[in-house]
Structure 1
Amino acid sequence: MTDTRTTDLSLTQAAAARVRTIAERQEKPAILRLSVEGGGCSGFQYRFGLADTVEAEDIVAETDGVRLVVDPVSLDLVRGCSVDFVESLGGTAFRVENPNAAAGCGCGSSFAV
């Protein structure tokens, strides 16, 4: 059964729009998977990718018809986070605002708890 507790995660409208654009170009569903892996300069690192399906155990947040999915193991490290899409002079990127992160690196793709 898919758990749809949106209080655990959120996806901004900017991020949803970017996921939709990428998914349309790649002819895939508008499903962004966020996972956490060991490594990076701060201990853990975020991984993003388009998913073909939502797995039964995934936690799902939806914004404007775009779904953000996280597996239960990664959820422990990103519970309460918000995923945004930012554009700056340094480039464009998905950015995670993670209330569980005690420290992060300058690139924004790794964190420590």
Structure 2
Amino acid sequence: MADIILSARAAKRINEIMGSEPPGSSLRISVNGGGCSGFSYAFDITHAREEDDVVIERDGATVLVDPVSLEYMGGSTIDFVNDLIGQSFKIENPQATASCGCGTSFAI
């Protein structure tokens, strides 16, 4: 399974968000059934790691992904974009065959 890459921009934004959270907090990204295209990404702040979590770290930022979600996200790049329509985390997933304009929904 290919690794998940965390961009420098995403790491910087995660660090900014976690600055107001309790020490040891992490960003959890998971894949859920549903959404416009069949699957959707969920972004949550968590204060606990599960034993089987995959830990992705860069520049002091930590992202947790559960093993089931990793099956759908392998090879992805997590980025943070700031454009005319707003700011958001963007996941470039090579496994996705289609995505939705919402930016958090995809199909495999």
TM-score by length of structure 2 reads 0.92
Contact 2:25 2:48 in 1 (8 A): no
One-letter amino acid of the structure 2 residue matched with residue 29 of structure 1: G
CA apart distance, 1:26 = 2.9
Q: 1:36–1:47: 8 Å Cα contact kept in structure 2?
A: yes
- Residue in structure 1 matching 2:27, options 19, 29, 32: 32
Distance 2:35 2:23 in 1: 28
Aligned match of 2:65: 70
Instruction: Provide the secondary structure at the position in 1 that maps to 2:14.
Output: helix
Aligned residues: 108
- Match of 1:17, SS state, is helix
Q: How far did 1:10 drift?
A: 1.3
Pick from 82, 86, 102: which aligns with 1:107? 102
TM-score (norm 1): 0.88
Say whether residues 1:13 and 2:8 are aligned partners.
Answer: yes
Q: Flag as ranges the 4+ runs of structure 1 deviating above 6 A.
A: none
List runs of 5+ in structure 1 lacking aligned partners.
none
Quickly say closer, same or farther: Cα 1:30–1:14, change in 2 above 3 A.
farther
Unaligned 5+ segments in structure 2 are none
**What amino acid is aligned across from residue 87 of structure 1 in structure 2?**
N
3-state secondary structure, aligned to 2:19? helix
Any residues of structure 2 matched to 1:40-59 within 5 Å, and which?
40-59=35-54
Q: Percent identity?
A: 46
